[in-house]
Structures are given as structure tokens and as C-alpha cells.
Structure 1
Amino acid sequence: MGCEMVPAVRWAVQGAQGKFAYKLMNDLFANYSNALRPVEDMDKAMNVTLQVTLSQIIDMDERNQILMAYLWIRQVWFDAYLRWNKDDYDGLDTIRIPSSYVWRPDIVLYNNADDQFTGSMETNVVIRFDGQIMWDSPAITKSSCKVDVSFFPFDAQQCRLTFGSWTYNGNQIDILNHLDTGDLTDFVENVEWEVLGMPAKKNVITYGCCSEPYPDVTYTLILKRRASFYIFNLLLPCVMISFLAPLGFYLPADSGEKVSLGVTVLLALTVFQLLVAESMPPSENVPLIGKYYIATMTMITASTALTIFIMNIHHCGPEAKPVPKWAKKFILQYMSRIFFVYEVGESCRRPKPEPGKVPKVQEINGQAKRKETTAISNKCAENDDPKSPQKMEDVLGHENAFKKDASSEWKENGKYSEKGGGGNESGHSECSKAHCLCHNERLLKNIEYMANCFREQKAAQKRTGEWKKVAKVMDRFFMWVFFIMVFFMSVLIMGKAI
């Protein structure tokens, strides 16, 4: 029976308190007005204590420089006309009524960037018997925030939330901060921003429009960007693409893909640059990742231009001038060994023979030709009379006369006639010797012509090969130079992340 009577007693007590609450409501607001500042002495300032709790960061719009946050705002003040003796109302010490019934301080967010200017939610206020009023209201605020993107995506921002009275000056309302910092106990972690702190500071400012001081409380929200998303989606692809640019120097010049690779890499980086530019404010401060993109694009542009220059060297035709001596010594001898550029069949252990050492026959070409002519002439003479070498000189002395007589006799009789002092046998011998000599001279001229053509062709091939090797050495040199540049640029940009 005792347990069954407890709820009944509770309902009776609550019903009695409800009656006293209605009586208290009627007594308090019988002659109350929420239009005037509720103080007994109008010359004294009313103290309003402000406390802000950060619940969530909804959005940070860097391009428009607007911070959107979800806040819980608590304001506490004393109303001189809302007091009662709790013993007269059955110990009732607090009541909760709509906030529109009581006077409220017009504390607003000074740097509000909301186009609709929506205020706090109309929630109830808690009134104590001593006149203390506590008003807790949630609010979604849009505040202007000066964004510095110089070190994007490794940047930190400081956004200020300034609260103050819009119409009351410091002689009428004095704003106090409840704590030296904003409350972050109920903060919901943001995926993009990390909150490092929210210090609070009271300021008293005299504006140009008015001579009275206006106090305010400024909360500085210190944010640090979580850069993992940007590292994996913007930075690492750019680094990998950048390492493709020096490989264009390693491509063979005959492949026809050297310039197209550089242009493709340049276009890819341009796309990433546009993605960054769309999300950043159009300010004079270039983001760190934007500087990296610009430096990389400049490097790729330079590498493409150098590739075109080197390809012109590679495709020098046979009409090209010989490689200068300084280039032969510096590029073909020293730099080719440093960058391990060897021709086909050549290695670092078996260097190719020096260009100055040629076969002995080529060095004494003239002497060899004379010996060859003498040998052929002697052979032609010995076919007739091996024991009389003097006959060759006689044939050489009478060659012109023989050609003239032989040609005229051929025209008259259709065949050669026998002339001279040697009779039939002597004429036949001289004819054979002259015919052999004429035939050998024409053969030597043809051989000499072909040899000259071959030597010119070999010289042209040698010049072309030397220019191709110069181009290959320059390709290797610029490849390592640009690899080092890309490496150091990537280390610098990654150092900011660490």
C-alpha cells in the first residue's frame, strides 16, 4: 500500500507546484515590460556573461572566406524585476518560460556573413528566484574569416567570432567572458580541419560613429588543415607526373614520342592547377601547391624546348658541319664516359680505337696507287715479253701516235693495218700493250671514283654519328639535371607536410 501511495503524493506535489508556478507567473509579469533594460538604477551598467560552446564546424569556404559553424551560446544576466521569495511559492526556486517574455540583451555576431541575418533559436530561459536569467540558444553562424592560403594544403587559419551589443554601449551593458577560452568538450571532429584552440578576449573599442565605448568578446578559432586528402589527391599525382618529364630525355630520338610526352605531362599538370585555382580565393598570395605546380610546369616547358633543340642536333644530315674540336674532347670523350654513353659494340672496358689510327694503305694511298699502277703496267708488259721491261717505255712514248694511226686505219679499211719498223709481230705486240694499258687506266679511274664515293659516304656517316652521339650525351645530361630538380622540389614540398 505504501508503494502505491508514492506516485499519488508525487502528482499531488507537482500539481501544487504547478499552481504556485501559475501564481508566480501572474505575479511577476503583472507590471513587467520586456522593452526596457531591467535595472533599478539606469545610470549603472548591466553585466552580461557570455559563454560560447563550439559544437561543429560545418563548412569552411576558402574562396568566399566564410566560416559556417554550429554554436551553443549561453548568456547570463540579472533582472531586477524578476525576483521572488521562494518560501512564498512552496519552495519554487526556478521557472522556465519562453525567452520572448523577458528582456534580452541584443548581443549579435559582429562579423556575421549570413545573407538572411537569422538570429538565435527562440528557446526558453531559466529564471532563478534571485533574478538570474540564463538563456541557452543554439545557432548556426556564418562569419567572415580572413583566409591565408599561402601554405595550402599545409596551412593554418585563425577565424574570429566577435560578439557584442548592437545598440547598448559600455555604460549600459558590460559584456564579460565566462571562460578564457571557448568550450570544446562537445566538439564533433571535422574531417578537414583540426581545432587547436579557441581563446577568448574582451575588447573595448570606440568607433568613429559614437563617442561611447563598446565592449565585445572575441573568440579566435585556431584551425589547422588536415592535408592527407590533398596529399593523396593533388600532390602525389603531381609528383609522379613530374618524374615522367625527365624520362622524355631517355626516349630514343627516332621514336617520335619525346615532344608528345612533354606536352602530355604539361597538360596533365595544367588540369591539376585549374582544380586548385577553382577552390582558392583570387588573392595575390599564391598557394604553396600552386607554386609547386608552376615550378614543375616551367621545368617541363624547359625540358620540352631542350628536347626540340636536341632532336635538331640528332637529325643533322650529311651536309652538317663536323663536330667542333672542343665538343669532341669535352662531350664525346669526357661527358660520354661520365654518363655511360657508348656506341653499339663499345663498352667501358673496351674503348673503341682512336679516330686517328687508320690502316696503312689509307695513310699512303697515293704511294699504294702508284705501286698498283706500276704493277699492273709491268704485268701487262710481261704478258708479251717478260725479259724486256724497256718495251713498256716504248709503248708509253708511242701511245698517241698509235692511237691516231690505228683510228684512221680503222676508218679506212675496217681493221688495223700493220705499221712501224717492227713488222707484223712488233705491231701486234705494241697493240696488245697499248690496249692493256688503256683498259687498266679506265679500270683504275672507276675504282678511284668508287673509292672516293665510299670515303665521302663514310665521312658523312661519321659526322652524322658524331652529332647523334652529342645529342645522346646531352639527353643523358639533362635527364639527370631535371631528375635532381624534381627530387629537390618534391623534398621541399613534402618537408612542409612533415
Structure 2
Amino acid sequence: ATSSLPAPVRLQRRGCLFAYKLLHDLFANYSSALRPVEDTDRALNVTLQITLSQIIDMDERNQVLTSYLWVRQAWLDAHLTWDKDAYDGIDSIRIPSSYVWRPDIILYNNADDHFGGSMETNVVLRSDGHIMWDSPAITKSSCKVDVSYFPFDGQRCRLTFGSWTYNGNQIDLRNRLDTGDLTDFVENVEWEVLGMPATRNVITYGCCSEPYPDVTYTLLLRRRASFYIFNLLLPCIMVSFLAPLGFYLPADSGEKVSLGVTVLLALTVFQLLVAESMPPSESVPLIGKYYIATMTMITASTALTIFIMNVHHCGPGARPVPPWARRLILHHMARLCCVYEVGESCKSPPREPGGRAARGDAGGPGENPGQGEVCTEAGGCPRDHCLCYHDGLLRNVGYIAGCFRRHRAAQRRTSEWKKVAKVMDRFFMWVFFLMVFLMSVLVLGKAA
């Protein structure tokens, strides 16, 4: 009946018959539970190769790396060999991996809740007994995350593979290549892979006296910081430069303290955003240090603003400005910060308080009651009938002149204290601008 079929179909059916016969002959007396070696005293060589396909997620807070790997294991099964000429030239077959013995190679630093292994894929069995098992796996591995330089940080995540029950005298695990395969890696938007070197280690654990070999792949990662620069760092720098402008606001506006508090609350929100994604460790991220330093500076500027506003609103009963403050603040610091009275400029020298103009302002009608004596006899006014010599009128004029002098002196004291506050505002504004600039340069320089 088969002679009536076309030649290709007959060859295909003949090949299937030989494949079924080969599968039956190989596994007639085979057990997948025992290590496939002819001499039980010799170790079975197993080679391991890891291909990194994708970085799915890096959970910094829980310190877990989720990656998609292709795991290739190869070993020699001495019980699964055949003469390919006896089976119509069949050199290799692909069978389910559950049919053959497999090394129990697992990820030592697995952090998965379900502890899932590799996918149950087929193995390639060759006529000389060599078996190659390629299986994809999504692994969750523990990774010690160092966020000291976040968001300009780099991480070293280790993937350690080894046998769980077989020691080095039973399975000799070796890495096929000195590095992981990155040819099929899908680029990650957050992390850049710099390399994946592989090392073989032989460790003797405290539970057992036998050595246990393992292969450790070190995944070298560097964070792409553009997202964090534009969403966390630059807004913080711009908000920080708003804080010194609180000193430039007029004291009578009533918004000086509210600006500092608003800036402090904005930085607190940014600080909470960073803290939510970072692990609760002792190492503070670089951007966190910048936030803390900026918040400390803004707190100090708000406290100084309150003090300066208290100086500005000194009432008429305030004491005069001390001589050292008049000399240091009203003369030197005012000239340094270009703070002058109305009508003056940076080029014209400031008018000294207490000078001629001030003294002239203190005068007024009736300042010197003796001037009433000028009411002369040249006008023909008899001495006994001149109003200037009436005692009541002289007392009233003297009282009015004294009130005027006291009012002018109080105005001078108030204006001097206001100028002191204005000079201190300008001085601290430039000091805090310089501090913000230096902190920004230090942070970026340290990150570089």
C-alpha cells in the first residue's frame, strides 16, 4: 500500500518510523532520576550560558531586579547515544525535557514569591549523547542597590547560578563564555547595560564539607538620568533660586514670609517623591542631600526675613541706630549693595545721616526762642506792647517747636532702621544667591 505513495511522502513516513523506533529504543530502560554517567565517581561537566534579553523592572525600594533571560545548559548523557547509520542517518532529535535527566541549576539569589524555574521546553539530543537545553526564564533576583549618587548612579546586580543538590564532585558547572550574551538585548528606557562579565566560583558552605561550584554573572547598569534631571533636579534648582528673591520683596508687601514658606513646602513635596522610590537605607541620595541643604537654607532665610521685618517695623519709640551699625551697615554695606536714598545713585555719594541736611530738618519755627528778641524796636513797636514778649505765647511756640523736633527725630530714627533693614535684605539676597549657585555646582560636579 505504501508503494503507491509519492517518493517524498514515503521518505517522510520512513523517517518517522525510524524516529519512533529510536525514541523507543533509547528510553526502554532509561531513568531520568539518576545522574547519567558511566562512572559514578566522576563529575558530570555542565556548561552554562546566559543571554540577557530584556530588563523588565528595577525595584530600588525592594532591591529586586526583574529580567528576561535565555538559559542554555549543555551536558553529556552517556546513556542516550546511538549509531545514526542504524536509524537512517538521524543525527539529532528534539524531545520534551522531562524525558531526560536535567541538572537542577537554579538562581541562588532568587527573590520571586513563587520561585518559578525555567520554561518546560524541548531539549536537543544528539547521537553522541550531547544534550542542549535552551529555555527562557523571567527571573526576579535580589540586587544590592546603592543610591548614594541617585539619579547619576550605577548598579552592579549579580545573578548566581548553581546546582542545589549536586556538589562539585558530582557536577562540574562551568561558564561557556567569559561574559553574558547581549547580542539580542532590547534597550531599556531607564537603564543602560555596560557589560555582563561571568566568573566561576567554588564555595564551601557551612552546612556541607563538599565544594559547590557556581557561575556568577555581574550585570553592570548605569541609570539614564535625563528623566530625573528634567522632573526632579531642574524644578528644585529653579525653586531654590526663588528663595533669595524673598529678600528683594518690599517689607510692606506682606508676602516675604509666605514666599519662603511656599518654597519650603514645594521642596518638601519633591523630597517625598524621592523618598517614596528609594530604599529606607542609611545612604542618603545625592539629590536628597541637595534637597535637605536647600530646605535648610530656605529655613534660615525665612528666619532672617522675620528678623529683618522686625527691624524694618521699628516704631517711633525705638532707640537710635548704634554708631557701629551706622558705620558698618549704613555706610560700607549700603555702598557695597548699592542701596541709596531716593534721588541718589551708585555714582553719587550717599547723604550721611545726622549731617547738615538732617540738622537743618530738625530746626523749625520757634526752635530758638531768643530769636523773638529780633522783634525790634526798629518797627516802632513799644517794648511793653510787643507780642513776642508775652509769656503765654512764648510757651506755646516753644511747645510746638519741641513737638516738631521730636517728630522729626522719630522720623529720622524710623527711616534709619528701615534703611538698615533694606541693606540687610540686599546683602542676604546676594549671599543666598551665591549659596544656591555653589550648591548646584557642587551637586552637578559630584555627579559628574
Q: Secondary structure at the match of 1:243?
A: helix
Identity percentage of aligned residues? 74
In structure 1, C-alpha distance between the alignment counterparts of 2:103 and 2:254, rounded to whole Å: 76
In structure 2, C-alpha distance between the alignment counterparts of 1:437 and 1:244, rounded to whole Å: 65
The one-letter code of the counterpart of 2:238 is M
Matching residue within 394, 398, 412 for 1:462: 412
1:376 aligns with 2:326: no
What is residue 21 of structure 1 aligned with on the other side? 19
In structure 1, C-alpha distance between the alignment counterparts of 2:282 and 2:174, rounded to whole Å: 38
Matching residue within 193, 196, 209 for 2:194: 196
1:449 aligns with 2:448: no
Q: Secondary structure at the match of 1:191?
A: coil
The one-letter code of the counterpart of 1:369 is P
In structure 1, C-alpha distance between the alignment counterparts of 2:71 and 2:363, rounded to whole Å: 102
Asked if structure 1 preserves the Cα contact closer than 8 Å seen for 2:240 and 2:263, the reply is yes
What is residue 58 of structure 1 aligned with on the other side? 56
In structure 1, C-alpha distance between the alignment counterparts of 2:166 and 2:368, rounded to whole Å: 118
Q: Secondary structure at the match of 2:270?
A: helix
Asked if structure 2 preserves the Cα contact closer than 8 Å seen for 1:164 and 1:216, the reply is yes
Question: How does 1:323-334 map onto structure 2 within 5 Å?
Answer: 323-334=321-332
In structure 2, C-alpha distance between the alignment counterparts of 1:483 and 1:453, rounded to whole Å: 45
What is residue 220 of structure 2 aligned with on the other side? 222
Structure 1 residues 149 and 342: alpha-carbon distance in aligned structure 2, compared to 1, 3 A threshold? same
What is residue 257 of structure 2 aligned with on the other side? 259
Question: How does 1:392-471 map onto structure 2 within 5 Å?
Answer: 392=383, 433=384, 435-437=385-387, 440-471=390-421
Shift of 1:9: 3.5
Question: How does 1:164-183 map onto structure 2 within 5 Å?
Answer: 164-183=162-181
Matching residue within 70, 81, 84 for 1:83: 81
Q: Secondary structure at the match of 1:491?
A: helix
The one-letter code of the counterpart of 1:94 is S
In structure 2, C-alpha distance between the alignment counterparts of 1:235 and 1:170, rounded to whole Å: 51
Residues 366-389 of structure 1, C-alpha deviations (whole Å, 9 max, x = no match) = 99532x322226368x335xxxxx
Matching residue within 288, 291, 294 for 2:289: 291
Shift of 1:301: 0.2
What is residue 274 of structure 2 aligned with on the other side? 276
The one-letter code of the counterpart of 1:296 is T
Structure 1 residues 315 and 159: alpha-carbon distance in aligned structure 2, compared to 1, 3 A threshold? same
The one-letter code of the counterpart of 1:271 is V
What is residue 494 of structure 1 aligned with on the other side? 444
Residues 102-154 of structure 1, C-alpha deviations (whole Å, 9 max, x = no match) = 00000000011111011110000000000000000000000111111111111
Shift of 1:353: 4.1
In structure 2, C-alpha distance between the alignment counterparts of 1:37 and 1:161, rounded to whole Å: 25
Residues 52-100 of structure 1, C-alpha deviations (whole Å, 9 max, x = no match) = 0000000001111100000000000000010001111111000000000
Asked if structure 1 preserves the Cα contact closer than 8 Å seen for 2:311 and 2:417, the reply is yes
In structure 2, C-alpha distance between the alignment counterparts of 1:341 and 1:268, rounded to whole Å: 31
Structure 1 residues 13 and 266: alpha-carbon distance in aligned structure 2, compared to 1, 3 A threshold? same
Structure 1 residues 100 and 229: alpha-carbon distance in aligned structure 2, compared to 1, 3 A threshold? same
In structure 2, C-alpha distance between the alignment counterparts of 1:356 and 1:122, rounded to whole Å: 98
What is residue 242 of structure 1 aligned with on the other side? 240
Structure 1 residues 352 and 298: alpha-carbon distance in aligned structure 2, compared to 1, 3 A threshold? closer
Structure 1 residues 496 and 190: alpha-carbon distance in aligned structure 2, compared to 1, 3 A threshold? farther
In structure 2, C-alpha distance between the alignment counterparts of 1:361 and 1:190, rounded to whole Å: 76
What is residue 413 of structure 1 aligned with on the other side? none
Q: Secondary structure at the match of 2:377?
A: helix
What is residue 91 of structure 2 aligned with on the other side? 93
Asked if structure 1 preserves the Cα contact closer than 8 Å seen for 2:121 and 2:135, the reply is yes
Asked if structure 1 preserves the Cα contact closer than 8 Å seen for 2:201 and 2:213, the reply is yes
In structure 2, C-alpha distance between the alignment counterparts of 1:349 and 1:107, rounded to whole Å: 83
Asked if structure 2 preserves the Cα contact closer than 8 Å seen for 1:98 and 1:125, the reply is yes
Asked if structure 1 preserves the Cα contact closer than 8 Å seen for 2:367 and 2:401, the reply is no
Asked if structure 2 preserves the Cα contact closer than 8 Å seen for 1:258 and 1:307, the reply is yes
Q: Which runs of 5+ in 1 are unaligned?
A: 1-6, 385-391, 393-432
Structure with bigger helix share is: 1
In structure 1, C-alpha distance between the alignment counterparts of 2:361 and 2:94, rounded to whole Å: 120
TM-score scaled by structure 1? Answer: 0.85
Matching residue within 328, 337, 340 for 1:339: 337
What is residue 429 of structure 1 aligned with on the other side? none
Matching residue within 187, 206, 209 for 2:207: 209
The one-letter code of the counterpart of 1:478 is F
Asked if structure 1 preserves the Cα contact closer than 8 Å seen for 2:46 and 2:171, the reply is yes
What is residue 414 of structure 1 aligned with on the other side? none
Residues 216-246 of structure 1, C-alpha deviations (whole Å, 9 max, x = no match) = 0000001111111111111111010000000
Shift of 1:18: 1.1
Asked if structure 2 preserves the Cα contact closer than 8 Å seen for 1:154 and 1:496, the reply is no
In structure 2, C-alpha distance between the alignment counterparts of 1:290 and 1:274, rounded to whole Å: 10
Asked if structure 2 preserves the Cα contact closer than 8 Å seen for 1:45 and 1:173, the reply is yes
The one-letter code of the counterpart of 2:169 is N
Asked if structure 2 preserves the Cα contact closer than 8 Å seen for 1:106 and 1:166, the reply is yes
What is residue 406 of structure 1 aligned with on the other side? none
Residues 172-212 of structure 1, C-alpha deviations (whole Å, 9 max, x = no match) = 00001000000000000001110000000000000000000
The one-letter code of the counterpart of 2:290 is Y
Shift of 1:357: 1.9
Structure 1 residues 364 and 112: alpha-carbon distance in aligned structure 2, compared to 1, 3 A threshold? closer
Q: Secondary structure at the match of 1:378?
A: coil
Asked if structure 1 preserves the Cα contact closer than 8 Å seen for 2:388 and 2:394, the reply is no
Q: Secondary structure at the match of 1:345?
A: coil
Residues 365-414 of structure 1, C-alpha deviations (whole Å, 9 max, x = no match) = 999532x322226368x335xxxxxxx4xxxxxxxxxxxxxxxxxxxxxx
1:472 aligns with 2:425: no
Q: Secondary structure at the match of 2:356?
A: coil
- The alignment of Structure 1 onto Structure 2 pairs a total of residues equal to 442
